[in-house]
């Protein structure tokens, strides 16, 4: 099987699980009252896109512990994608993002539910918050009803709670850090808790725990997963500013307008001279950035060496992840899959 083909096949299986599950839940919601149809539509919109990386790491955490392929495990892995969908809806709401994968974000799309209301913004934001809450509840429902034995699920329940707690902690840290003076260590901590852990480390460990993995293998999953998760988010921050929105699904002005505490901007502000530092400070946090102003931020990020420094951070973390993988006692198939996923997660073009 060619590199990447295995992930494509697994992604199709996860997509099918989510399509079937979300369709049933969305229909049950819409059946309560016809006016809930726009909210039901957002359940589909929130779950219809994604690389399914988190599900893939959970699946290979299971297979890496010596367990065979399992449809029940694929459903459990798909549940983590619903956690991600909930986080994205809430994240877009917090950040006031306008588009995601070329479509209006939930808190904008849901304004259609208030066609007779002169002030739909507040109501739409409230509905988006509730969509995110429902997706998180659905994640727990799919996980516990995946079909694996109760004894298997009990092994992973504590880590499921950790995943949710630390994801919320990371979101809170980002909100608390937004607009404050640049601090690289604080930026990395936000990355670690908001994204890195629930993208790679926690899904791997959940898969391993479901499989009954020994402590040594679980430690190897953390040693691989945490630096890789950080590298993934660092790459995402670079792509958010420099990538093609058609591929990334994000407006390049979003992180800048939100003045989010990214490592990229921490490096740029720390290395900028007085004039450029003042200019960056003037641009960051503005909700009406023009394309020319975004390009000016890109120029400063390049000139200060911030882009190079973030690339170096990615390289170091990817090397750490690969070294941890080399030391792990894994079946050959799982080792190959996790090696491929590390490259895929930090690819410059996704």
Q: Kindly state whether residue 292 falls inside one of the protein's structural domains.
A: yes
Q: Which residue has the tokens 């973030």?
A: 310
Q: pLDDT-derived band of residue 309, with 50, 70 and 90 as boundaries?
A: very high
Angle at 150 between CA 146 and CA 153, to 5 degrees: 65
Residue 261: what pLDDT?
Answer: 81
Residue 102: what pLDDT?
Answer: 77
Cα separation of 228 and 333, whole Å? Answer: 19
Q: Which among 223, 297, 225, 214 has a CA at the least distance from the CA of 254?
A: 297
Q: Kindly state whether residue 350 falls inside one of the protein's structural domains.
A: no
Residue 348: what pLDDT?
Answer: 66
Q: Over 60: is that where the pLDDT of 193 sits?
A: yes
Q: Kindly state whether residue 263 falls inside one of the protein's structural domains.
A: yes
Q: How many independent structural domains does the chain possess?
A: 1
Residue 84: what pLDDT?
Answer: 97
Cβ atoms of 147 and 75 closer than 8 Å: yes
Residue 287: what pLDDT?
Answer: 82
Cβ atoms of 99 and 251 closer than 8 Å: yes
pLDDT per residue as tens digits for the range 108-143: 999 888 877 667 889 999 999 999 999 999 999 999
Q: Over 80: is that where the pLDDT of 223 sits?
A: yes
Mean pLDDT, the chain, integer:
92
Q: Backbone phi, then psi, for 100, in 5-degree steps?
A: -150, 120
Angle between helix 53-63 and helix 71-95 axes, rounded to 10 deg: 150
Range with the poorest average pLDDT among 82-91, 159-168, 248-257:
248-257
Q: Kindly state whether residue 184 falls inside one of the protein's structural domains.
A: yes
β-sheet bridge partners, residue 99: 104
Cα separation of 26 and 327, whole Å? Answer: 44
Residue 286: what pLDDT?
Answer: 86
- What string of DSSP letters covers 183-198? -HHHHHHHHIIIIIII
Q: Kindly state whether residue 151 falls inside one of the protein's structural domains.
A: yes
Q: pLDDT-derived band of residue 235, with 50, 70 and 90 as boundaries?
A: very high
Q: Backbone phi, then psi, for 104, in 5-degree steps?
A: -60, 140
- Give the CATH number, domain containing residue 211: 1.10.600.10
Residue 117: what pLDDT?
Answer: 65
Percentage of the chain exceeding pLDDT 70:
97
Q: Kindly state whether residue 310 falls inside one of the protein's structural domains.
A: yes
- State the residue range of the domain holding 316: 5-345
Percentage of the chain exceeding pLDDT 90:
79
Residue 253: what pLDDT?
Answer: 79
Q: Kindly state whether residue 290 falls inside one of the protein's structural domains.
A: yes
SS3 181: coil
Q: What is the CA radius of gyration of the chain?
A: 20
SS3 211: helix
Q: Kindly state whether residue 16 falls inside one of the protein's structural domains.
A: yes
The beta strands (E) that lie in the chain are given as 99-100, 103-104
């Amino acid at each position: 099987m060619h590199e990447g083909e295995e992930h494509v096949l697994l992604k199709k299986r996860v997509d099918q699980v989510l399509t079937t599950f979300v369709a049933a839940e969305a229909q049950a919601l819409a059946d309560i009252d016809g006016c809930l149809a726009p909210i039901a539509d957002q359940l589909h919109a929130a779950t219809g896109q994604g690389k399914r990386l988190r599900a893939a790491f959970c699946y290979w955490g299971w297979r890496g512990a010596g367990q065979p392929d399992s449809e029940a495990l694929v459903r459990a892995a798909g549940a983590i994608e619903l956690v991600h969908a909930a986080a994205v809806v809430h994240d877009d709401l917090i950040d006031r993002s306008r588009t995601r994968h070329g479509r209006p974000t939930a808190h904008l799309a849901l304004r259609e539910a208030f066609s007779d209301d002169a002030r739909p913004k507040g109501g739409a934001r409230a509905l988006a918050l509730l969509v995110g809450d429902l997706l998180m509840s659905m994640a727990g429902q799919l996980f516990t009803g995946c079909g694996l034995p109760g004894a298997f699920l009990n092994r992973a329940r504590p880590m499921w709670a950790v995943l949710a707690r630390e994801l919320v902690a990371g979101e809170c840290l980002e909100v608390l850090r937004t607009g404050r003076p640049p601090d690289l260590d604080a930026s990395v901590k936000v990355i670690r808790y908001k994204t890195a852990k629930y993208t790679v480390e926690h899904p791997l460990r959940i898969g391993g725990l479901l499989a009954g993995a020994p402590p040594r293998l679980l430690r190897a999953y953390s040693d691989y997963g945490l630096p890789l998760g950080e590298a993934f988010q660092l790459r995402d921050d670079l792509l958010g500013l420099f990538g093609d929105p058609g591929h990334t699904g994000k407006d390049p002005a979003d992180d800048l307008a939100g003045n989010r505490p990214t490592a990229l901007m921490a490096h740029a502000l720390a290395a900028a001279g007085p004039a450029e530092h003042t200019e960056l400070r003037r641009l960051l946090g503005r909700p009406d950035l023009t394309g020319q102003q975004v390009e000016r931020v890109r120029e400063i990020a390049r000139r200060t060496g911030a882009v190079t420094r973030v690339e170096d951070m990615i390289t170091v973390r990817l090397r750490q992840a690969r070294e941890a993988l080399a030391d792990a006692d894994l079946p050959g198939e799982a080792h190959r899959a996790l090696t491929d996923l590390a490259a895929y997660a930090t690819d410059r073009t996704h």
